[in-house]
């Protein structure tokens, strides 16, 4: 042949669309990723889909097959939609007869745990063309990265229930915090803060009421802070943090918090930046031993499922973070620019006070990528 | 004498101003309560002050004396300012050598626990003349009561730390939920919802990730719901709840949540209604065996302590709730009207974008009470 083409690298991506709008937005994200690959010419994606979902759980009695986690390990990355419909995970009730990964807590949490994804990164900012519900809060006024501890704490799953339905029934939830777990999330958070212009890290706890794990967080934070003299730090209590996020968004940059605290704060962050529909998340294994997982932070939204009106921006942003994690910074930035050009042009779904459907937004983003 | 006066009832109130602005706002609240008593003519207050605080902790090594809790039991109500300065509670580190109530967790939590205050009621609304940080959110658009479980859950204090500073150090926080504890908070929440025009109760959990205590909440909620067919109910996950509060405030009315979840949500609620400085709380013993405790939800705010600029509205609103609890609904409503007349007249502190100091606001409220 007359032209010599550099062979592009092929990445194997497993998608788990899940339930409800998870299906719609995963389809949209795949389309955008394909387009991005073609335009870039330096990488390709080979997609494999798994039908693991609450819907299938209802039919089969399990989320993923026994070797599900091993299956995932063969891929370069996992793209996840949303889970929880027509059965709400919360309504299934606990089952103790089968291992976690094939039963109730069967999808997101076992993947995060088994694949070393101890960091959940949740960037939030007000994108061009998107309106924050806050007065006086435009692009640039709210630009945060929440670093969520993703492997322990309140999600350890320990505890139990005793005395069944009797009047002396007692249930416990045991949060578990380890030095290894705390140190590694702090280091990741400090590195993140250091990589950003403001070099500022806010650590969140509730150590005035939770006197063991949160006190250990405080203590280890003081230690690790010494390793990063170039990063400015401060500490907040989780309750007061919601106030600061709402009333003083400009004062924050990188934020590190426990599994539950960051779960709550990142949903709030998404709302403050305009809609839960735009927010991305990356479940990362910083050791790169296992595939990392990328998912929008919204849920399966049964009320709008299948109507073709779900906001795909959170899915696209998550896709951009996947591309970045795989090493293609320029392509990731290109996708983000394409997204913001589209939102700025007013091509937005209903949750953003727009009138476009999922497909229209998707096509517009694809067109921007081609430019 | 030529006139026969009905003898007014005398209530013994113990004040614990605590630290920082707790001192300023307690003084303001006492002035307003005295004025209210004089104008009403049907009740009187006899105030006793306790100097229990973080400041005193630093000098004496304890918050309250050994018989502190017993001392409190002799009063009709407790009025609490704020605690935590110059020592931050969180910075003291845990002490295991002395009982809780004379050491670290030494003030608010032991009082709530020992005096049967299993409910913490936190009303929030946008007062006249106060601006919400949210676009399109004026008086009437945000009118909630958060019913916080105040005796167990994440604040049970159980757990511990092992292996000290070594690399395998582990800390646990054990949340404890009991059927008795859950049933009674739900009943209180349903009664609260029933007493309000919309008769609507939203229950918050995180039962898709916390599989024991939160599942028990779900289960008991379903049971108790049957006792209140006239109350409309729905369930939210705590993360999604922050989104709903921020983007759809009108859809909420009465909210019930665990100790930690409601701690976080009530601070967010306060921020969304304009400032943490206006929000009140009532720690109630619904059995009326022990005195209940009233406190603004804000902290000791070291940065503005002693400057005379703290917002006393949260303190006044808490005082109004105390007066209501003692049986004087009309006087409580009168105080609330006085507060709103003052905020509507623009007499507000800096956190509400006003220019008045604590004293000016206090005098204005006193003058309104006299009208
Ligand atoms: C001081 C602290 C222990 C307390 C709590 O978390 O309950 C405070 O934040 C509150 O909300 O009353
Ligand atoms: C589905 C649920 C278990 C999950 C979580 O709480 O982690 C979700 O809310 C998220 O934030 O990814």
Contact in structure between A97 and A88 (CB atoms under 8 Å): no
A75, A319, A363 from A35: Cα distances, Å: 20, 12, 10
pLDDT score at B167: 87
Phi, psi dihedrals of residue B39, rounded to the nearest 5°: -65, -40
Instruction: Give yes or no for a cis peptide into B86 (omega within 30° of 0).
Output: yes
Q: A152: which 2 tokens?
A: 């322990």
Helix (H) or strand (E) holding A55: helix A54-60
Q: Ligand nearest A111 Cα, by number?
A: 2
Q: Which residues of B touch A159 (CB under 8 A)?
A: 174-175, 211-213
Three-class SS state of B340: helix
Residue A125 lies in a domain: no
Of B239, B248, B231, which is closest to residue B189 (Cα–Cα)? B231
What confidence score (pLDDT) does residue B102 get? 40
Of A77-81, A185-189, A269-273, B90-94, which range is least confident?
A: B90-94
- Please indicate, yes or no, whether residues B195 and B108 belong to a single structural domain of this protein: no
Give the position of tokens 């109630």.
B284
Query: Cα-flanking dihedrals φ and ψ of residue A280, to 5°?
Result: -100, 165
Looking at the fold, whether A186 and A217 belong to one and the same domain comes out as yes
Gyration radius from chain B CA atoms: 21
Q: Please indicate if any CB of chain B lies within 8 Å of the CB of A81.
A: no
Give the integer Cα–Cα distance in Å for A120 and A114. 14
What pLDDT is attached to residue B59?
A: 84
A133 domain residue, yes or no: no
* Average pLDDT of the residues of chain A: 92
Rounded CA separation A271/A278 (Å): 9
Task: Judge whether B103 lies within some domain.
Answer: yes
Q: Distance (Å) from the C-alpha of residue B84 to the closest C-alpha of chain A?
A: 9
A131 in any annotated domain: no
What is the average per-residue pLDDT within B273-287? Answer: 97
Instruction: Judge: A267–B170 Cβ closer than 8 Å, yes or no.
Output: no
- Nearest-CA residue of chain A relative to B243? A271
User: How close is the nearest chain B Cα to the Cα of A192, in Å?
Assistant: 23
Residue of chain B nearest A100, judged by CA positions: B211
CA–CA separation, B293 and B283 (whole Å)? 5
* pLDDT, mean of residues B209-226: 91
For the beta carbon of residue B353, count every other beta carbon within 10 angstroms: 12
Query: For ligand 1, is residue B263 a contact (CB within 6 Å)?
Result: yes
pLDDT of residue B66: 87
Lowest mean pLDDT among A155-169, A327-341, B141-155, B178-192: A155-169
Task: Give percent above pLDDT 90 in chain A.
Answer: 80
pLDDT value at B345 more than 80 = yes
Which residues in chain B (22-51) have CB-CB distances under 8 A to chain A?
A: none
pLDDT in tens, B130-184: 999 999 899 999 999 999 999 999 999 899 889 887 888 999 999 999 999 999 9
Least CA distance to A172: which residue of chain B? B176
pLDDT for residue A97 is more than 70: no
Among B238, B272, B306, the domain-final residue is B272
The pLDDT, as a whole number, for residue B88 is 60
Residue B2 or residue A180, greater confidence: A180
Residue B263 region by backbone torsions, left for phi larger than 0, else alpha for psi between -120 and 50, else beta: alpha
Q: How many domains does chain A have?
A: 2
Looking at residue B298, what DSSP letter applies?
Answer: S
Minimum distance, in Å, between the CA of residue A177 and any CA atom of chain B: 5
Q: Between chains, do B210 and A170 touch, taking CB under 8 Å as contact?
A: no
pLDDT of residue A149: 98
- B98 CB near a chain A CB, below 8 Å? no
Cα–Cα distance, B219 to B241 (Å, whole number): 19
Give the confidence band of A103 by pLDDT, cuts at 50, 70, 90: very low
Nearest CA owner, ligand 1 atom 11:
B263
Nearest CB partner across the interface for A175, out of B172, B247, B270? B172
Least confident of A92-101, A269-278, B223-232: A92-101
Q: Is A342 exposed, middle or buried (0-12, 13-18, 19+ CB in 10 A)?
A: buried
- Residues on chain A touching B265 (C-beta within 8 angstroms): 242
Q: A271 vs B209: CB contact, 8 Å cut-off?
A: no
Q: Would B132 be classed as within a structural domain?
A: no
The whole-angstrom distance between B193's CA and the closest CA on chain A is 24
Quick check: is A84 in a domain? yes
Q: Is A182 in the same domain as A267?
A: yes
Question: Cα–Cα distance between B89 and B56 in angstroms, integer?
Answer: 12
Could you tell me if B155 and B267 lie in one domain? yes
Cis, peptide link before residue B167, omega less than 30° from 0? no
Q: What is the mean pLDDT of residues A45-55?
A: 94
- Which of B223, B252, B272 represents a domain boundary (last residue)? B272
User: Is the pLDDT at A369 greater than 90, yes or no?
Assistant: yes
CA distances from B173 to A259, B113, B360 (A): 13, 18, 45
**Quick check: B273 and B142 in contact, CB under 8 A?**
yes
Provide the pLDDT for residue B1. Answer: 46
Say how many CA atoms lie within 13 Å of A229 toward its Cβ: 0
DSSP B94: -
Q: Is A34 helix (H, G, I), strand (E, B) or coil?
A: helix
Pairing of strands B77-82, B292-296: parallel
Cα separation of A94 and A157, whole Å? Answer: 11
d(CA A219, CA A204): 13
- pTM (predicted TM-score): 0.95
Q: Give yes or no for residue B90 having a pLDDT over 90.
A: no
In this prediction, residue B350 carries a pLDDT of: 96
Sequence-distant (≥ 6) Cβ neighbours of residue A166 within 8 angstroms: B179
Structure-block tokens of residue A192: 């993140």
Partners of B276 on chain A (C-beta within 8 Å) are 240, 243
Instruction: Give the range of the structural domain holding residue A326, as residue numbers without chain letter.
Output: 1-117+286-371
Residue B103 has pLDDT above 50, yes or no: no
In a domain, A279, yes or no: no
Sheet of B170-178: strand order equals A153-162, A170-178, B170-178, B153-162
Is pLDDT at A359 greater than 60 in this prediction?
Answer: yes
* Mean pLDDT of all residues in A281-289: 98
A155 vs B contacts (CB less than 8 Å)? 209-210
Q: How high does pLDDT run on average in chain B?
A: 92
B223 in a structural domain:
yes
Residues B2 and B45 in one domain: yes
Indicate which atom in ligand 1 lies nearest the CA of residue A237.
9
A208 pLDDT more than 50 = yes
Chosen domain end from A206, A238, A272: A272
For residue A89, what is the nearest residue in chain B, using CA coordinates? Answer: B208
Q: Are residues A358 and A251 in the same domain?
A: no
Cβ atoms < 10 Å from Cβ of B158: 15
The CATH number of whichever domain residue A340 belongs to comes to 3.40.718.10
pLDDT at B84: 82
* φ/ψ of residue A352, rounded to 5: -105, 25
Instruction: Determine which helix (DSSP H) or strand (DSSP E) holds B154, and give its type and residue range.
Output: strand B153-162
For residues B22-37, give the mean pLDDT: 98
Q: Report percent pLDDT > 70 for chain A.
A: 93
B32 touches B336 (CB < 8 A): no
Q: Which regions of chain A does DSSP assign to beta strands (E)? A: 9-18, 43-49, 77-82, 119-125, 143-149, 153-162, 170-178, 200-205, 232-237, 254-257, 280-284, 292-296
Contact criterion met (CB below 8 Å) for B243 and A273:
no
User: Which residues of chain A lie closer than 8 angstroms to B222, CB-CB?
Assistant: none
**A268 alpha carbon, closest ligand:** 2
For B179, the closest of A154, A167, A266 (CB atoms) is: A167
Indicate whether residue A239 lines ligand 1 (CB < 6 A).
yes
**Which residue carries 């392509």 as its tokens?**
A331
User: How far is A46 from A286, CA to CA, in rounded Å?
Assistant: 23
Do residue B314 and residue B344 come from a single domain?
Answer: yes
Which helix (H) or strand (E) segment holds residue B295: the answer is strand B292-296
Are residue A297 and residue A264 in the same domain, yes or no?
no
Secondary structure percentages of chain B, helix, strand, coil, to 5: 40, 20, 35
**Residue A195, φ and ψ in degrees, nearest 5:** -80, -5
Check whether residue A170 and residue A254 sit in a common domain: yes
B45 and B110, same domain (yes or no): yes
Q: In the prediction, which pLDDT does A96 show?
A: 45
Task: Please indicate, yes or no, whether residues B226 and B341 belong to a single structural domain of this protein.
Answer: no
Token pair belonging to B268: 């967010």
Give the pLDDT band of residue A63 (cuts 50, 70, 90).
confident
Q: Are B223 and B115 in contact (CB under 8 A)?
A: no
Instruction: In whole angstroms, give the CA distance from residue B323 to residue B318.
Output: 9
Does residue A361 share a domain with residue A305? yes
For the residues B316-343, what does the mean pLDDT come to? 98
């Amino acid at each position: 042949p007359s032209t010599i083409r550099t062979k592009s690298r092929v990445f194997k991506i497993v998608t788990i669309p899940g339930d409800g709008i998870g299906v719609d937005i995963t389809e949209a994200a795949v389309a955008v990723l394909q387009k991005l690959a073609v335009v870039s010419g330096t990488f390709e994606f080979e997609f494999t889909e798994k039908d693991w979902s609450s819907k299938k759980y209802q039919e089969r009695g399990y989320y993923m097959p026994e070797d599900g986690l091993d299956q995932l390990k063969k891929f370069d990355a996992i793209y996840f939609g949303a889970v929880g419909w027509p059965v709400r995970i919360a309504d299934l009730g606990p089952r103790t007869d089968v291992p976690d990964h094939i039963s109730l807590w069967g999808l997101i949490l076992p993947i995060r745990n088994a694949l070393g994804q101890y960091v959940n990164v949740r960037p939030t900012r007000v994108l061009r063309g998107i309106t924050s519900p806050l007065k006086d809060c435009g692009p640039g006024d709210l630009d945060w990265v929440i670093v969520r501890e993703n492997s322990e704490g309140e999600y350890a799953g320990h505890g139990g229930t005793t005395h069944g339905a009797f009047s002396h029934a007692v249930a416990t939830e045991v949060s578990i915090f380890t030095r290894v777990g705390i140190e590694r999330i702090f280091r990741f958070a400090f590195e993140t803060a250091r990589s950003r212009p403001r070099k500022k890290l806010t650590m969140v706890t509730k150590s005035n009421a939770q006197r063991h794990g949160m006190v250990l967080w405080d203590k280890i934070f003081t230690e690790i802070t010494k390793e990063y003299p170039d990063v400015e730090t401060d500490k907040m209590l989780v309750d007061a943090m919601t106030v600061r996020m709402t009333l003083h968004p400009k004062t924050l940059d990188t934020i590190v918090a426990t599994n539950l605290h960051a779960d709550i704060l990142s949903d709030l962050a998404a709302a403050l930046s305009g809609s839960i529909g735009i927010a991305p998340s990356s479940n990362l294994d910083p050791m790169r031993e296992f595939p990392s997982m990328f998912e929008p932070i919204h849920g399966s939204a049964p009320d709008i499922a299948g109507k073709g009106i779900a906001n795909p921006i959170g899915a696209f942003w998550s896709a951009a973070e996947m591309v970045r994690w795989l090493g293609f910074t320029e392509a990731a930035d290109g996708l983000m620019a394409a997204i913001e050009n589209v939102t700025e042009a007013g091509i937005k779904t209903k949750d953003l006070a727009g009138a476009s459907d999922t497909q229209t937004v998707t096509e517009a983003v694809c067109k921007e990528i081609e430019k």
